[in-house]
Chains A and B, each alone.
Chain A
């Protein structure tokens, strides 16, 4: 049996399992991508102030990644898939990271598509520096929000609680990303958290690019992209099949 045949036999880890499941339902995938695009249209195409456009895109990102992860994990628990995974001889950390990675990958696909459309519609220069400036905080924000959404979802009992808590947390995250003004009394406390929030940095990058500002070089951005790419490759490939370990 060739390595190719063995690779196609089925998923070898939770990341591959979730990705195959997400990409396996073409209708659901088209709806997911189509609805995200549809929801982004007002912020991409309409004649709004740049701040409003960017705030809308950050809200969409937060909703897609955090709310999606919270509701997703609650749904997996209610339909028994989470319990099934926990019963398997796989470590809990491995299950958690694979779930975060797979939902982050789907969200990056959705938001990457939206941001590409935004860049095209708003005449942003397609330079590698700008790509890096936007891609790095996008990857960081999506991964962070997915991880946080998963943790919040695990604390909740059912889908109803997940929807309610998810929506409330999205509001809080929008405050923490600087898109909704924080109350005056809490601004001093929230300012450091806002500056650390990758969604805030993504908003700054989008606004800066619109004004033609050149991004400041740094190591964190490229590093996070390298780490994410390495993680995705590591989990996407069935290494046992590649090296033919029997």
Chain B
């Protein structure tokens, strides 16, 4: 089974979105491709996202996340393949009526600098056909949510990077589109607004609105998305439900060991050691749920003369899944003696197969 087929088959499991059977898919991509040159862009993307789902896309820098996001938002056209948003083919999405259904917030925030944040947001909402009263109410709420109510009347030219990011996001939240596309939304946000944004996205999902999040922040996606896709070298390498990934990863332990002085060690030959990587004075390892796995690893490191300063042991999370997949090539080299990077269970097995380099 293709990883993309997994994407079609998988159903959101953590965030209820109502009666999904009656809805048209929000996004359907078939063999979608866009090339910028050799090895750049995206290819062979097959994806189906039902309406009312929050879908996250993870990948390393240059893996094609942003290209795919731009294709979905309609800011770029595909070279080949097909893409439909709410059943409307991409080439017919240019009409204002269709554009009103979706809204994209990119990592680069663009505003009219001599206008205040409120004026920028007001114009944005007006262009989406909202009425004055509603705009003012919603903007007041979202500026307050972002902690920017006192700066709403200041010119955008005076805003910090984080405030600009917040402004872009709150503009989109205020118009409440059927499809919200967020590119790297968590960059530059303070912790409080990140939490508020997480809550807003979850609330959107509960109301049956679709959200696409592209980014490098697994923790943020863990709190918002019901499914995640992993991009690798322009391809959708794997797709899995967040709950499923977490259930599986929580059987594992992630261990971070810091050394007093950088000391190179060999990967210990231990049963249940699924990943092991050394970066300077820090070792990251993923161990199966064996209660003696961590002591055995410490013993093996000490035997090799690794001067341990700190040890951090925690349950696996989406970041680990992301690292396991995106570092697959490195890990495969490191784990030459282990057969697979990801666990063999259900749909995730399919995802893992496509996540591991051939």
Q: Which residues of A contact B (CB under 8 A)?
A: 1, 6, 9-13, 16-18, 20-22, 24-25, 28, 79-81, 83-84, 86-91, 240-241, 245-246
Contact = CB atoms under 8 A, between A and B. Distances in A.
A245 B108 contact: no
A1 B129 contact: no
B142 interface: no
B181 to A, nearest CB: 10
A24 B119 CA distance: 12
Contact of B123 (A12, A79, A89): A12
Given A1-B133, A28-B114, 14 more contacts: A1-B132, A9-B118, A10-B115, A10-B123, A12-B123, A16-B123, A20-B114, A80-B108, A87-B73, A87-B75, A88-B127, A89-B98, A89-B127, A246-B133
A2 B123 CA distance: 19
A11 B123 contact: yes
Contacts of B118: 9-10
B122 interface: yes
Given A81-B110, A89-B99, A89-B127, A24 B75 contact: no
Nearest to A80: B110
Given A11-B123, A83-B110, A245-B131, A20 B136 contact: no
A6 B122 CA distance: 11
A191 B119 CA distance: 48
A12 B123 CA distance: 5
A18 B99 CA distance: 22
Interface in B94-109: 96-100, 104, 108
B128 interface: yes
B290 interface: no
Contacts of A25: 113-114
A9 B108 CA distance: 25
A13 B129 CA distance: 11
Contacts of B75: 83, 86-87
A24 B126 contact: no
Contacts of B120: 10
Contacts of A83: 75, 110
A81 B127 contact: no
Given A24-B155, A87-B74, A9 B135 contact: yes
Nearest to B96: A89
B104 A87 contact: yes
12 contacts: A1-B133, A6-B132, A10-B116, A11-B122, A12-B126, A17-B115, A22-B114, A24-B115, A79-B110, A81-B110, A87-B99, A89-B97
B97 A11 contact: no
A148 B46 CA distance: 43
A135 to B, nearest CB: 29
A22 B155 CA distance: 13
Nearest to A7: B132
Interface string B128-148: 110111011000000000000
